[in-house]
Amino acid sequence: MHVIFVEPCFPYNQRQFVRALKAAGATVTGIGEIPKESLPDEIKGWLTHYEQVPSVVHKPSMMEAVKKVQSLGWVDRLEATVEAHIMAAAEVREARGIPGTSVRTSHLCRDKPAMKEALREAGIPCAQSLGTDSADDCREFVASVGYPVIIKPRDGAGAAGTYKCGNDEELENAIVESRLADGANVAVEEFIEGHEGFFDTICVGGEIMHHFITHYYPGVLEAMRTRWISPQFIATNRVAAEGYDEVREMGKKVIDALGIGTSATHMEWFYGPKGLKFSEIGCRPPGVGAWDLYCAGNEMDVYKEWAMAIVHGRPSQQPSRRYSAGLINLRPDRDGRIAAYEGIELLDQISDHIIDHHLPPVGAPTQPVEAGYMANAWIRVRHPDYDGLRHILNTIGEKVQVRAR
């Protein structure tokens, strides 16, 4: 099978997908933005051919590159795994007659209001929402559903550009800061109270081949706005527990409703006073190294399993579910430069459970809180007991402090 893979170099873990495709027996062509001579040697070794384009989200450039590759031989698949690349890849894929995720499905997995409208029609519970470029329509929607509400980009990822509004003053500020006041088109949603997690899959022909369930502590919006919190997410090894049946059932209904075929998916959910509610989905793998946690917790190569789905339509192994695995992000106490670490000796005491870690050296510049879970310092840990892992991560958050000046 010949697979075109979009942007094999950036971000860094993109090379894992190229490696996995090669390991699964595919012939791999890369399309990316850096010159061929600048490709790392290991990526050059996995690729049979490479085309450089000015931008992998510029449809005309991508179209010409794919035409050129097709002129050299048959292409079976065109794959993209980064949220920003999904739509352009789908448009080129469909125009060039290459199988894979459709433009419709890609659009519904990118556009939050359209996504939720399609899922409400399929009977899947989710927040009330509106897509609008009108500040007055936004105000009318808020008046009908009540506070709190969320305003965010229609095609955003994570908490980027997201505003939570609990009163009229916060709403008016968000209308200005989101540029809705200037005619920007945004998603406005009812805020759903509850615990937040995500349900990730690798699907073949719309059927779930592998699945993983992960919890946020605390929810993403709070985590990305509050400096003193050391946020965590934990992939559980208790996925067979009865309490997750509803999550799995909802996930399959979403996949069916959006027409997802052979692809990775990343689906976020809330569970609270109003029950289980769908949040949003990406037709791609999760970010922030979540698959690395799945690899460590399940003693398997999840990237290879994705490639097996693409190339062969079947798994090569099953997850062991031996460990829960989690990440904790350690924020510096202020912006500036790293001055010192306190409590770092704890890591020696739990070294048997540490998967890996990143501790920027003293003197390194800090990153802002909203930069995400893998900005600044982070530690990834696994443990056979979910509650035991939570205890370890909470202890790290309490005892390991990052001081800046």
| 386 vs 240: CA distance, rounded Å | 13
pLDDT of residue 93: 97
Q: What is the predicted pLDDT for the residue at 193?
A: 87
pLDDT at position 181 is: 87
Beta bridge partners of 29: 4, 49
Write the CA distances from 309 to 223, 317, 376, integer angstroms.
34, 11, 34
Residue 159's pLDDT is 64
Domain chopping of the chain, boundaries: 2-100, 128-190, 195-404
Chain mean pLDDT for the chain? 95
The number of beta carbons lying within 10 Å of the beta carbon of residue 365 is 12
> How high is the pLDDT of residue 154?
81
Tokens representing 68 are 């050129």
Alpha-carbon distance of 245 to 97, in angstroms, equals 37
User: Residues near 100 by Cβ (< 8 Å), separated by ≥ 6?
Assistant: 77, 78, 79, 90, 93, 261, 262, 263
DSSP string for residues in 56-112? TT-HHHHHHHHHHHHHHS---EEE--SGGGHHHHHHHHHHTT--SS-HHHHHHTT-H
- Strand, coil or helix: 264: strand
- Give the integer Cα–Cα distance in Å for 102 and 402: 45
Residues 6+ positions from 84 with CB-CB distance below 8 Å: 57
Full-model pTM: 0.91
Question: Alpha-carbon Rg of the chain, whole angstroms?
Answer: 22
| Amino acid 158: pLDDT | 57
What's the topology of domain 195-404? Answer: D-amino Acid Aminotransferase; Chain A, domain 1 (3.30.470)
Identify the CATH number of the domain defined by range 128-190.
3.30.1490.20
What are the start-end ranges of the E strands in 90-244? 129-132, 149-153, 163-165, 186-190, 195-204, 207-217, 232-235
Residue 1 contacts residue 99 (beta carbons within 8 Å) = no
Contacts of 243 (CB under 8 A, 6+ apart): none
Mean pLDDT by 10 residues, the chain (405 residues): 97 96 98 97 97 97 98 97 96 97 96 91 92 93 93 74 91 93 90 94 98 96 90 97 94 97 97 93 95 98 98 98 98 97 96 97 95 95 98 97 97
Q: Which of 69, 64, 83, 86 is nearest to 28 (CA)?
A: 69
**Residue 325, SS3?**
strand
Query: Class of the 2-100 domain?
Result: alpha beta
Question: What does the alpha-carbon distance between residue 210 and residue 39 come to, in Å, rounded to a whole number?
Answer: 32
For residue 121, give Cα distances in angstroms to 118, 282, 390. 5, 19, 38
Dist. CA 397–CA 275, nearest whole Å: 30
**Of residues 13, 4, 11, 10, the one with CA closest to residue 31:** 4
